[in-house]
Amino acid sequence: MNTSMGFTPLAGLMMGSRSGDIDPEIIPFIEEKFKLDSEDVRRVLNRESGILGISGVSNDIREVEDAAKNGNKRAELALSMFVHQIQHYIGSYVTDLNGLDTLVFTAGIGEHDSMIRSMVCSKLSYLGVEIDEQKNANNETSIETANSKVKVAVIPTDEEIVIARDVVSVAKL
């Protein structure tokens, strides 16, 4: 089992406003260059970085996609970096797992954003991933082509039911 998160949610994949993985030396660099204390740096890395910080548009991927479609270079860069990081983690996990049978997209962006799914899969053909763009655009639950060596699934997230089951389990109801 592996996860992209580290000690805190700040580590791992870039998020809407969180930086994701960074070189630890960036912290004293930011403190010195911008005359910020550690609390200010923490705030910047958690609330003003990631997709928002790079795009300069929003922490909402839909707004960033719209800006990119309208030629906003920073929005294009944010999307490119986000997708690259996802591809990086997939590559790492494929190595951990010694292969790939199924690629699953879930949660907000994975479940609802066909453009990001398409961009992520665009460089995974070497793994046997091939998606049907029409199925992807229609948000079907199985979006691979008939020739794909890897299943590609879009699975809805139901966090409330998971929490309810955990409560029942802990409370032994």
Residues with Cβ within 8 Å of 119's Cβ and at least 6 positions away in sequence, in order, are 79, 83
User: Is residue 128 annotated as involved in ligand binding?
Assistant: no
In sequence order, the 6+-apart residues with CB closer than 8 A to the CB of 123 are 87
> Residue 164 and residue 166: Cα distance in Å, rounded?
5
- Asked whether residue 155 is marked as a ligand-binding residue, the answer is no
Token pair of 172 as six digits: 């032994």
Is 61 among the annotated ligand-binding positions?
yes
Establish whether 108 is an annotated binding residue. Answer: yes
39 labeled binding residue: no
To the question of whether residue 56 is assigned a binding role by annotation, the answer is no
Q: Is 109 annotated as a binding residue?
A: yes
Known binder of ligand: residue 51?
Answer: no
Q: Is 112 annotated as a binding residue?
A: yes
Q: What is the Cα–Cα distance from 73 to 55, expressed in whole angstroms?
A: 8
- Which residue ranges are tagged as binding site for ATP? 60-62, 108-112
- Which residue ranges are tagged as binding site? 60-62, 108-112, 159
- Which residue ranges are tagged as binding site for Mg(2+)? 159
